[in-house]
Structure 1
Amino acid sequence: MTRRRLRFGLLTVAAGSLLVSCASGERTNEPASAALIIDIRIANGAVSPANTRTEAEVGQRIVLRVDSDTTDELHVHSAPAHTFSVAAASGQEFGFTVKVPGQVAVELHHLGRTVTTLLVRQ
């Protein structure tokens, strides 16, 4: 949790400017960011999506779900980089996280196409 979430909160009520201080002292376990799922379809030499921008967070699990009619390789240009072998099959899933903020290209090697650029923020 951040300090901001642990600080006392103030609530202004109506025009009377009544301030109510809120502090329970309890810490709750918030779930980690939900996985980001990107569906990719490769068919007849075309890829969808293509050249998109996708927002993500540092440490967020990213899952590429791929349906393809041909073999290829997905390259994730992060540090460290990730490479996934794509089969001519449906329902393939490839998961990873990005540890450094910035722009991360996800490309198909053989088709020479950018699927998406991840805009990874902290």
Structure 2
Amino acid sequence: MKRCGAPVDLSFKAISNFAGRSLNLRLNYFSLFSHSEFSLFDSVSVLCELPELRVLYLHGNRIFTLSGVDKLGVLPHLHTITLHGNIIESRKAYRTHVILALPGLKTMDFSAVTPQERTLAHLWQHSTTNTLH
């Protein structure tokens, strides 16, 4: 994997969000896990300004909503994400939702996203969309 800029690992640091901060736009690896007060919702706009981001570790935080994950879909090279250990993990269809939100995802929570899983996610999306109309 070609690296663009040094990887950033802020795991176990006292950070609640990145609102109003700037990061290296060439960053492609970012680790921020085990933060009891981290807010993806407040920080997602900064993370979305990292077009080269490929790996994002956010496990073990207190991420409550999937809406922040949806916004990460603008990152064209994001292929690996960890979100386990967050409150969103208990949401219905959590893994399916993340797979649909991040189309380039190859690995989620240290498990490969298989072609069959992606197909089932799209079928699930289609069936839930049809039942709503």
TM-score range relative to shorter protein: under 0.3
RCO higher in structure (CA 8 A, sep ≥6): 1
Structure with the higher helix share, 1 or 2:
2
Normalised to the residue count of structure 1, the TM-score between the two structures is 0.26
Structure with the higher strand share, 1 or 2:
1
Rg larger for: 1
Normalised to the residue count of structure 2, the TM-score between the two structures is 0.25
